[in-house]
Structure 1
């Protein structure tokens, strides 16, 4: 009903002139502050690079002590440059940089690169200089890369704004590095390997421009096909995840991260805190946003190449290997399985078809050894048949030079079938110069080639992991029952936490911990508190023997370590003895003051199920993290665990479980029926909600959670629980926030249409995809035309790939509100959708709106736009805009009613509202 088609989140490509970093990567005028003639200096090298590799713009040397530099007229300051400067590059001592940035701000410079070192890497003095720069940046829209960086190159235009000795080759890979030294090494390597770049960026200390800014920029750049990153620290985690999650769907992002073997995390009060090491959390973050992590620089660029070439993505881990020699097939198989893939089990019908023309001694299995005398025709026919096998997700063709082998002609025969395949095809042409021409043929046909088959197999697995990660992000989750969160008792949780804080405790008792879990619908074993042996006996009698006694203490974390658990107590005498033993053990170790009593619980037969652990701890950069894995007393020995970032939905919960070994057992082994994995998913989703809604909780352990067969009495039951809080004097502003913004429940509100129909206005959810399909069926051609400026078919509008982009909202960058109506039968229906999308790198946004034809003229458009404007104010936006068709007068009236200014242009009616200051951008 309102906006130009470019705002459709499924097809949004930002115009280059809207991108704030364009002034840095595509400047018309460049000022070099610190330009000099002195041989070997950064200022001279930088200026020489700019003028010796023409980029189509003008260069102004800035040096108050020289009239000219390298024969070019110099200027005393940037304020005296004869033209408006797009990009200023600063190569002067650190102490002078804050004042120079101030000059740039006052001169209206749009972008800056600070090459100078001597900032936070040298300590407090450098940090103070950085703060002075930040204060200047707050005064203007100027964006700054650095400090302490090599600079940037745009090989496609010829811009070399670095002090590196050579210019990178042009290509389609965007490269970002936190290490200037690694930049130069990669640059040298790229010449040998003929790797080209669309951008070559040294990011430095990320004082202003960070990973997220650059990922958005390269994502918007149509010439960049893949993004590769060398990372030392992640910086603003939310910015990185937000940008990567959006861009990775259309462009692969591959990261090599140093520091994998750094010292383990400090000891924590929970098993989760111990097991959730920093590097494991980083891996979880990468998976969550679809980023691939590799170990070696060669893999970084090989993977970028293969993902850019291969339009097909593997839908599973099963690889079929075609080879003319057994040894290379075995090498490929080992590499495949060791890195998480599997050999495809060739279907019987495929074996039968192959046997019709292959020699009698072929392998009759996978790897498919077609023998050393294989000619081009045999290779081509084998590939044609195997590519249609339903049991494989990809193919690897291996060729070793032998007497009957023709590498070049084989490549010619293969390329047609490889291009026609509906699954990825990789090739390994082994040998030297004799296979080079064949490799070239395959590469030109977009078939990635590798000299070694094990490397090809590993890269296939990376491709599968890429598909798997993206599927986990954008697979529509199950719609949760309305009752799922309806009975959460947040008031009880707050009471328990406040009572503990009031007494200075940071460790909740097991009973308190279980009460909090129960408040979020997580089933716990019944536990009764007893301060005396007599009370313990009374509880045991009521619960029924056998029972378990567990220590209640405000001091001890792990009860078993101090003899605080007594199992399988069959009668009153055993209960009294156990009570006395626990009390005596604590008294002997630390004194009776640390003994508050015991809990009495029914004895649950753990052999009837599997013990898993579910936990949460805080990461300094990513905030709450969730752990799932094999539980019990040996949890830290087995270390079978996986980590994820909340919030979780059912799909992400299943992905978390799939990464563990215990998951296979939960599906049913050795005659056991499977567990109710759907209910376990729901439990993880509720647990995720708990971790986000209760920021005073520092760590949680449910260990063990007993997971039994679906039809058992207790299919899911938390047998033990432990919760640690932040100290009561903690400043909540210092508690790490979630790296992924949770569902913004503050924007959920009830409302009534003009005809008094009750509805709910709320942010969109991934689970809404089926409702959006039905919504689009209610739209007329006019409504579609007014919204998209052209007619779009229903099949196009409701395609899964498109709706996932609309429903899976990054609430940090955009907000989509739906008007949700629940009919008398309990069925939900979406009546209207309004979307506010923030432009990359700015504090401005555009809005879009679409209302079901049946419910137009009911006030929905006005309500949604008012809500979106309020969201914009809450989120600190400067202004909101839209472009409206001239004939869409209804939308124009809605905009005027809400306070937008309208301006007619030859093509559209421009609507704009300022949120933080009238008439100023």
Structure 2
């Protein structure tokens, strides 16, 4: 883990603390994956039983520890002394593997807690999969485990293997090979199938985990654990249900930046239940939401089992492409065409050969070569021709990656060609994939390439699809951490104004907002709406129309009906008073006939807007696993026919909003086509961000549609809106939460420096990266030295990859507070100080770091930032805060003592330690 040191100056003029964050060597899950002693509860000698198989696997694959059989009816099992219960063991154990019947398990877990066991694997089945009684037993298990610090994998699982240490706590028939891939599966049956396949294909694992029902340890725990494991280079997952979505996404976002995470999810074709009242609900399927969530966290999703391993292999072996442009090198035209089709079908592109590349290839290839991409080097190509063509093609700046295809022909030597190409595996800085087509004749060449870290595929179209997955993975990661445009601040009263509208409706026992209320709610968040007036009679309708100006539109005003067109509730292009009166009567009569008198409360009157732009839809609905989900795409009456839409999880930044727009076909039109002026996409990005804040800050909203949202070169305008609320019977604590923790607005507070300068102390945002660059430009060498214990060049400190870790934080696992000063001279915001709190989730503690710009030192800001970090830690139920301080930094030591830290000298680290129990 990269060290995180903090410096700067405190109010005394001394340097602020130097803080180091490390992963703790003692992880709670170590008891499961690195146990020194294991008890097998339910061990038996019955042939073919789970209890016998688990015990045999543990003793026949030495892991460096002791195994104790636990069986109340036997004195020994497989020749090993057995004990009646955990209390009778001669020593405490780290791990209990439980294979007894389900009804006995809650009591055994209670015994584990009483005897100090830290980890348990419940292999037993018969829990929630059998119904309510099983679910109740799971709840009992969890309650017992929470009394101690016991972590549990299972129930209803195959178990856990750590092939690198020899641990095999499963009832599988064989031990997995050691390797660097972490494999997690929710299906024990799939585990056994993958294990069998891996043995035949010589695939190895750092961990092989059957997760089961996830009563305790879930996806987030295991992704975090494998992410910190230096022996794991990539993580592959077979997933059926998410469990704790926020934990899953938080861990995935933290790990995916450094280690590929590839997921195969079952049930892609099952759509979530559709809400008839919402277009958005009808357009979002559960797998689409899952895919959007993975995209947001940098996870790669695949659709076939073999892709799990092939993508883990290729991402581990080869550099990631910078773009979608592939150069195909082949000795046969047909396979090159197949690869091209697969590339283009999945969104990739052929690299255009530069004139320099064509000229260089002309020097080494026969005149009949294709002179285009795919580069057909002809069927008589020898190893030297392959090598020279690859070397030239790899240097083309238009190419992001290379695919080399070989078909065995009379003049072809697959083995020698592979020998020639292997030296380019790590020299081109671009991914090289290979497809050596054939069987035994190409086997040795394929083996040579694989050993050289060039991934091979039996078919060229499969290789092209793998390249597409690679560049999409790269593009997605880059997009997530691309610096957004500065966010246009909204009114501080937006939440209060919106909440008042919602509360008024709920007090009237309504969960459907009227059109007027819906538009008022949108307006509170800066979303432009069309002028709308309410009329409860023909005369009022005429008055409203004349005040607005003809032509106008009349729409049903109802507190109960969501789709106005279904009951004849819309009349368009009314040009005079007579038309308005007639339209009023038509709407009233139609609604009364189709829905009943009680559903008509009048009409709304709006100006007739010329639809000279594009009709879009912007909405949000609930996913049962991920909570609120955003939808954007082509709108209008045929929205569910065209189904041109993209999904994303809130909250959005302007960058994420643009990426969402780019996944729709309508964007091409919005950018301007056939001589039409483009829509202001920057303004549209901001509107999407505002909308995501509305969804995130108003959890009472169950569903919301803006359809249509009119987008033209001149304006953006919400013409119609429909909002459905959670009823008052849903407690505030039970309202769905965002899967990604939103910006913590509660920690935005004004403060005043000692010299009277007003500032705002607030959580950092991705948009702050340019301000952080300016902040680093203000630091003296002394401050930099105290921050990193050596002089670190400005170019290093402001590198985008470095600032990602500071600005793009996950508020669910860390906090960074900045001092935001508005400079009246420059009329710009400036960051003048940063305080960070980085949590060690497995230990429920955190370390702090502070850095203050030189100009604003000795103004009390370091003290105030640390005080607010302590407040945040209290609120997050963090139990312990620590920090490392330079010995000469007596000022920061004094600040820590003043705020309640215990400060002492550590001879081992030659630093002062600051610790606080919360």
TM band (smaller chain): over 0.9
Q: How far apart are the structure 2 equivalents of 1:294 and 1:200?
A: 19
Find the partner of 2:415 among 408, 417, 420: 408
Find the partner of 1:223 among 207, 214, 231: 231
Find the partner of 2:589 among 580, 584, 591: 584
5 Å matches for 1:506-585?
506-585=511-590
Q: CA deviation at 1:526?
A: 1.4
Q: Which has the higher contact order (CA 8 A, sep 6+)?
A: 2
Q: CA deviation at 1:352?
A: 3.4
Contact persistence 1:816–1:834 (CA under 8 A) = yes
SS in structure 1 of the partner of residue 510 of structure 2: coil
Q: CA deviation at 1:291?
A: 0.9
Q: CA deviation at 1:321?
A: 1.1
Q: How far apart are the structure 2 equivalents of 1:855 and 1:230?
A: 52
Q: How far apart are the structure 2 equivalents of 1:789 and 1:153?
A: 42
Find the partner of 2:466 among 456, 459, 466: 459
Match of 2:309 in 1: 301
Match of 1:89 in 2: 97
Match of 1:126 in 2: 134
Find the partner of 2:186 among 162, 178, 194: 178
Contact persistence 2:234–2:259 (CA under 8 A) = yes
Q: CA deviation at 1:544?
A: 2.4
Q: CA deviation at 1:645?
A: 0.4
SS in structure 2 of the partner of residue 420 of structure 1: coil
Q: CA deviation at 1:206?
A: 0.8
Q: CA deviation at 1:200?
A: 0.1
Contact persistence 1:4–1:883 (CA under 8 A) = no
Match of 2:13 in 1: none
Structure 1: gaps of 5 or more residues: 916-921
The yes-or-no answer on 1:149 pairing with 2:157 is yes
Match of 1:914 in 2: 917
Residue 609 to residue 405, structure 1, CA distance change in 2 (3 Å): same
Match of 2:600 in 1: 595
Contact persistence 2:23–2:840 (CA under 8 A) = no
Contact persistence 1:216–1:840 (CA under 8 A) = no
5 Å matches for 1:201-600?
201-310=209-318, 312-481=319-488, 484-486=489-491, 489-600=494-605
SS in structure 1 of the partner of residue 625 of structure 2: coil
SS in structure 2 of the partner of residue 17 of structure 1: coil
Match of 1:661 in 2: 665
Match of 1:838 in 2: 839
Match of 1:918 in 2: none
SS in structure 1 of the partner of residue 248 of structure 2: helix
1:25-56: CA deviation from partner (whole Å, max 9, x where unpaired): 11111111111222222111111111111111
Q: How far apart are the structure 2 equivalents of 1:299 and 1:44?
A: 35
1:840-878: CA deviation from partner (whole Å, max 9, x where unpaired): 323211112222233222212211111111111101111
Q: CA deviation at 1:250?
A: 0.4
1:694-743: CA deviation from partner (whole Å, max 9, x where unpaired): 1111111111111112xx2xx21111111111123222222211101000
Q: How far apart are the structure 2 equivalents of 1:581 and 1:115?
A: 67
Match of 2:859 in 1: 858
5 Å matches for 1:639-678?
639-678=643-682
Q: CA deviation at 1:791?
A: 4.4
How many aligned positions are there?
Answer: 904
Contact persistence 1:198–1:223 (CA under 8 A) = yes
5 Å matches for 1:15-30?
15=23, 17-30=25-38
Residue 448 to residue 401, structure 1, CA distance change in 2 (3 Å): same
Find the partner of 1:72 among 68, 80, 88: 80
The yes-or-no answer on 1:734 pairing with 2:734 is yes
Q: How far apart are the structure 1 equivalents of 2:707 and 2:258?
A: 40
Contact persistence 1:60–1:73 (CA under 8 A) = yes
Q: CA deviation at 1:12?
A: 9.2
Match of 1:618 in 2: 622
Residue 16 to residue 857, structure 1, CA distance change in 2 (3 Å): closer
For normalisation by structure 2, the TM-score amounts to: 0.96
Match of 1:638 in 2: 642
Q: CA deviation at 1:13?
A: 8.5
Contact persistence 1:5–1:787 (CA under 8 A) = no
Q: CA RMSD in A?
A: 1.9
The yes-or-no answer on 1:847 pairing with 2:845 is no
SS in structure 1 of the partner of residue 364 of structure 2: coil
Q: CA deviation at 1:801?
A: 0.7
Find the partner of 2:701 among 692, 697, 701: 697
Residue 749 to residue 897, structure 1, CA distance change in 2 (3 Å): same
SS in structure 1 of the partner of residue 25 of structure 2: helix
The answer to which of 367-376 and 654-663 deviates more is 367-376
Contact persistence 1:13–1:220 (CA under 8 A) = no
The yes-or-no answer on 1:783 pairing with 2:769 is no
SS in structure 2 of the partner of residue 419 of structure 1: coil
